[in-house]
């Protein structure tokens, strides 16, 4: 008896199915990126994820937790998206 080291499955798709799978893969990648941003979002020691950012003359002056009032520094680009992103 031959020694089989794995299983091979061959699949064939028509053109529309291939395009659909590519679209799914593209959006799954964008979803994974957004979920990663959510997982890595800032959270205060009090458990709040809401904060107020104060600017003066377009310069970041202060970040303050809305839960406990603690002041902290946070990179400006570390904010979560406010609307769904499209990956065109």
pLDDT one-digit tens code per residue, 2-40: 676 789 989 899 999 999 999 999 999 999 988 888 887
Residue range 45-73: mean pLDDT, rounded: 85
CB 65 within 8 A of CB 72: yes
pTM for this predicted structure:
0.41
- Nearest CA among 21, 17, 74 for reference residue 48: 74
Checking if the pLDDT of 87 tops 70, the result is: no
Surface-to-core class of residue 48, CB atoms within 10 Å of its CB (0-12 exposed, 13-18 middle, 19+ buried): middle
């Amino acid at each position: 008896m031959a020694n089989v080291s794995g299983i091979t499955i061959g699949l064939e798709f028509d053109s529309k199915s291939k395009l659909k799978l590519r679209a799914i893969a593209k959006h799954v990648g964008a979803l994974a990126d957004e979920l990663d941003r959510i997982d890595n979002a800032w959270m205060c020691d009090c458990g709040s994820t809401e904060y107020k950012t104060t600017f003066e003359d377009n310069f970041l002056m202060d970040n303050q937790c809305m839960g406990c009032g603690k002041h902290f520094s946070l990179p400006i680009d570390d904010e979560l998206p406010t609307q769904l992103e499209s990956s065109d």
